[in-house]
């Protein structure tokens, strides 16, 4: 086994361990962790299967194997960013609704306090 | 004697401590026969003393814990209107650009036409404060876009000086756009079957403080609002 294979396998496993730790500590939701775990798994698979990259490149019609890595990675990142944007939009909407609820409640409490004083 | 109609005056404010005293004074002394007026200051998480100034003048205040922008702030006021069963709500900006004495024109137009949303327009008659050329160019663009998407002729689609009746209030509590809400909301309201009508008013320049929309005709605004209006037009109404 080549040196780079060993390095990537060890790094991937350490990465997986760290993600598990974050999930256990409650710092990372599972739904976000899935993407990272899948990526790490793919990295581990290709670390063991050296000729795998060549096979994949031929399959997709890509001449230079590393280009496939970059293209696939960028594509995955774009999709993930889109997902995060969707999540952020939802959080924004929920924030707005809560802020409005809070303001209405504060006003109600203030009014009732004034009424009690009088 | 019929019961007076309950009218909520929504005053959205972001750092308007300078303009608020004069505005609240004018609103306080405003008398419109047949209507009972309730001013409601919506403090959009101002950094200055807007809240304290509003309280000092005895106004009811919705104190937003985070800054929501004009759309969110106005919607907060409309939520209040809906919750306390007001008959009408009017948006009157905290910078003083919407003179309280012009309010009676909006109400009169509603009585005359029965439309659900009355827009106080600067551009039907060329009186009062006129914006810069580029701003008026942008407004002309939105006139055509609004007309294409809704069929309604609106010369001042960006005017915030608007009167909502009960139906419009209910619709807005479910959905009201966040950023630059005025043109997009017209498309949304029109699609939901509400009647929109414009009436001329005279608006003032800012009385104090600084505008939060500096370069009105900025490209971002135009693109963003155009997209929002197009999506609003094709979106299924609930």
3-state SS of chain A is: CCHHHHHHHHHHHHHHHHHHHHHHCCCCCHHHHHHHHHHHHHHHHHHHCCCHHHHHHHHHCCCCHHHHHHHHHHHHHHHHHHHHHHHHHHHHHHHHHHHHHHHHHHHHHHHHHHHHHC
Q: How confident is the model over B24-58, as pLDDT tens digits?
A: 999 999 999 999 999 999 999 999 999 999 999 98
B181 contacts: CB under 8 Å, gap ≥ 6: B70, B71, B74
Tell me: ipTM over 0.90: no
- pLDDT score of B214: 47
Looking at every residue in chain B, the average pLDDT score rounds to 88
Q: Which chain B residues are Cβ-neighbours of A99 within 8 angstroms?
A: 64-66, 68, 72, 76
Is residue B171 over pLDDT 90? Answer: yes
The pTM of the full predicted model, rounded to 2 decimals, is: 0.83
Give A107's contacts in chain B (Cβ within 8 Å): 60-63, 80
Which of A20-34, B62-76, B116-130 ranks highest by mean pLDDT?
Answer: B62-76
Residue of A nearest to B41 (CA): A107
Lowest mean pLDDT among A67-71, A112-116, B27-31: A67-71
Q: Report the residue of chain B nearest A107, measured CA to CA.
A: B62
Q: Which residues in chain B are closer than 8 Å to A96, comparing Cβ atoms?
A: 68, 72, 178
Contact B68 A104 (CB under 8 A): no
Question: Nearest C-alpha of chain B: how many angstroms from A75?
Answer: 26
């Amino acid at each position: 086994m080549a040196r780079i294979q060993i390095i990537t396998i060890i790094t991937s496993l350490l990465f997986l361990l760290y993600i598990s730790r974050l999930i256990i500590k409650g710092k990372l939701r599972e739904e976000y962790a899935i993407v990272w775990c899948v990526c790490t798994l793919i990295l581990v698979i290709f670390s063991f299967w050296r000729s795998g990259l060549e096979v994949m490149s031929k399959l997709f019609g890509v001449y230079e194997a590393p280009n496939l890595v970059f293209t696939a990675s960028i594509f995955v990142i774009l999709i993930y960013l889109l997902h995060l944007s969707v999540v952020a939009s939802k959080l924004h909407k929920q924030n707005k609704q809560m802020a409005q609820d809070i303001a209405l409640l504060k006003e109600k409490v203030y009014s009732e306090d004034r009424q009690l004083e009088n | 004697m019929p019961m007076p109609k309950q009218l909520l005056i929504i005053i959205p404010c972001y750092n308007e401590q300078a303009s608020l005293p004069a505005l609240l004074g004018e609103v306080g002394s405003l008398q419109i026969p047949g209507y009972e007026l309730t001013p409601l200051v919506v403090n959009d998480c101002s950094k200055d003393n807007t809240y304290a100034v509003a309280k000092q003048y005895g106004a009811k205040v919705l104190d937003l814990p985070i800054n929501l922008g004009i759309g969110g702030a106005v919607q907060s006021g409309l939520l209040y209107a809906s919750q306390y069963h007001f008959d009408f709500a009017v948006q009157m900006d905290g910078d003083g650009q919407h003179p309280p004495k012009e309010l009676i024109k909006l109400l009169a137009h509603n009585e005359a036409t029965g439309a659900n949303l009355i827009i106080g327009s600067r551009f039907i008659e060329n009186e009062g404060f006129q914006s810069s050329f580029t701003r008026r160019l942008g407004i002309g663009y939105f006139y055509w876009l609004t007309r294409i998407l809704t069929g309604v002729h609106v010369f001042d689609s960006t005017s915030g000086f608007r009167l909502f009746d009960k139906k419009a209030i209910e619709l807005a509590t479910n959905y009201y756009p966040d950023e630059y809400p005025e043109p997009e909301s017209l498309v949304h309201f029109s699609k939901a079957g509400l009647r929109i009508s414009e009436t001329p008013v005279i608006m003032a320049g800012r009385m104090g403080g600084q505008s939060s929309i500096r370069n009105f005709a900025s490209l971002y605004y135009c693109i963003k609002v155009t997209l929002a209006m197009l999506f609003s037009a094709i979106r299924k109404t609930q």
